[in-house]
Amino acid sequence: MIQPPDDPSQPVLPLPLVADVPMPAPEQDIVPIAVRVRRATVAFIFITVMIDILSFGIIIPVLPHLISSMIGGSYSEAQRYSEALKWSGLLGTAFAIMQFVFSPVQGALSDHFGRRPVILLSNLGLGLDFILMGIVNTVPLLFIGRVISGITAASFSTANAYIADVTPREKRAAAFGMLGAAFGIGFVIGPALGSLLSVWNTRAPFWAAAALSLTNFCYGYFVLPESLPPEKRSAFNWKRANPVGALLLLRRYPQVFGLALTVFLFQLAHYVYNNVFVLYADHRFHWGQQQVGYVLAGVGVLSAFVQAWLAKRVIHGIGERRTLLLGTACGVIGFGIYGFAGVGWVFLLTMPIASLWGLASPVTQSIMSRQVDPHEQGRLQGAVTSLASTAGIFGPELFAQVGAAAPPWLLGAPFLLSSALVLVALGIAWWTTGHLNAPPH
């Protein structure tokens, strides 16, 4: 989830984007125009984030298979599966490290040069990088492409800052909610679209992703205005671009550290989908790229349903703490069954149970937000997000190594690891929220 910037206090906005400042009577007709301009810019950022996630989702079903096809030699099927898992883990780790390092760098650059050039350069860089990955024929060159993707895809913090620039404070929650919806839409549509395109050609999803990013760059170049006026910009400072600083900030909030650790474990466990599932499903269930894409899309639909519709009803019925514990327990059970599922239909029938894990995320955020003063919300959420993002550094390689080393009779070991991680998170959540025993409203 993209979080608001650290200092959300009353930004000075370019006049065409300000809709909430009282204006003299002769100029009242300008207000509707300003509202429309602001909505158009928010819509562009929504589309930008959605296309970024969509372009990554498109290549999820085909990237592991592309890696496998590039691995030469006289490998057996089991050896090729093991090698492909290892390379997939390395590529995922490299991507996450680059994103972790360059997200604060891009944020600091946008404070100095403005949001527009950073967002546009990110779109351009992603488009060119997808072209590179669509034409390379060796794993090392593909590795370089993923490194570039991690650097250029680190623009979500800049998109977040843009939303804060152009949106009145009382409307920011809805705007950031739109960005969360953009994430969900991208992850649902992307894998399914990538699977359909891969039937025609294995490289087609990369070219489609490139086309989406470059089209968005062209659209933004002619449409997107700058949101940060020169008088509000600041000099580039490496201290502000330090990714470790956000993690150290959590020491100021020991009362929420347990829940922040829970979020980290959730994020880490989720990487079993990103870096193992495609190869695992092919090796164990003989599901092709198209079937895997549909399954991942189904996971996204179920997760969106649980978080957007079911969660608030369950919370109203049994309270926040019980909802948190129930959702986390469902994650433990779901991943456990996944790990022992010997046939595909058992995996599919387990998906609704595993999707109830999604009940835990919104409750965790809600409980944490009430533990600190309102003026500290932005800094706290940014620190929690930074902690969660570190899971991307360790998760891909961890699950790849576990999957590669698993014996034939325990191919589901990566899912059992996810189940164990969520079980630890369940214990931490139970202990941390022990004071929340009030009955539900």
Give pLDDT, residue 350: 96
Q: The domain 1-241: what is its CATH number?
A: 1.20.1250.20
Give pLDDT, residue 333: 97
Contacts of 221 (CB under 8 A, 6+ apart): 120
What class is the 243-436 domain? Answer: mainly alpha
Give pLDDT, residue 371: 72
- Secondary structure (DSSP) of 377-433: HHHHHHHHHHHHHTHHHHHHHHHHHHHHH--GGGTTHHHHHHHHHHHHHHHHHHHHT
Total-model pTM = 0.66
Most confident of 31-45, 52-66, 209-223, 419-433: 419-433
Mean pLDDT, residues 272-292: 84
Give pLDDT, residue 20: 43
Give pLDDT, residue 391: 86
Give pLDDT, residue 12: 39
Whether 47 has a pLDDT exceeding 50, the answer reads yes
Give pLDDT, residue 34: 53
Whether 421 has a pLDDT exceeding 70, the answer reads yes
CB-CB contact of 45 with 2 (8 Å): no
Listed in order, the ranges of the chain carrying CATH 1.20.1250.20 are 1-241, 243-436
Mean pLDDT, residues 142-153: 82
Mean pLDDT, residues 4-9: 41
Spatial distance between the Cα atoms of 2 and 65, rounded to a whole number of angstroms: 30
Whether 401 has a pLDDT exceeding 80, the answer reads yes
pLDDT band with cut points at 50, 70 and 90 for residue 303: confident
Length of the chain measured in residues:
441
pLDDT band with cut points at 50, 70 and 90 for residue 428: very high
CB-CB contact of 204 with 61 (8 Å): no
Give pLDDT, residue 11: 41
Give pLDDT, residue 2: 39
Mean pLDDT score of the chain, rounded to an integer?
77
pLDDT band with cut points at 50, 70 and 90 for residue 191: confident
Whether 117 has a pLDDT exceeding 70, the answer reads yes
Give pLDDT, residue 14: 40
Spatial distance between the Cα atoms of 56 and 256, rounded to a whole number of angstroms: 32
pLDDT band with cut points at 50, 70 and 90 for residue 179: low
Give pLDDT, residue 50: 78
Most confident of 69-73, 332-336, 356-360: 332-336
pLDDT band with cut points at 50, 70 and 90 for residue 31: very low
Give pLDDT, residue 175: 61
**């189940």: which residue's tokens?**
419
pLDDT band with cut points at 50, 70 and 90 for residue 24: very low
Mean pLDDT, residues 376-403: 74
Give pLDDT, residue 40: 65
Mean pLDDT, residues 203-230: 85
Amino acid at 176: F
Spatial distance between the Cα atoms of 178 and 175, rounded to a whole number of angstroms: 5
- Secondary structure (DSSP) of 40-77: HHHHHHHHHHHHHHHHHHHHTTTHHHHHHHH--SS--H
**3-state SS string over 184-200?**
HHHHHHHHHHHHHHHHH
**């590039």: which residue's tokens?**
70
Count of other CB atoms within 10 angstroms of residue 255 = 11
Mean pLDDT, residues 6-31: 41
Task: Using a pLDDT cut of 70, give the percent of the chain over it.
Answer: 76
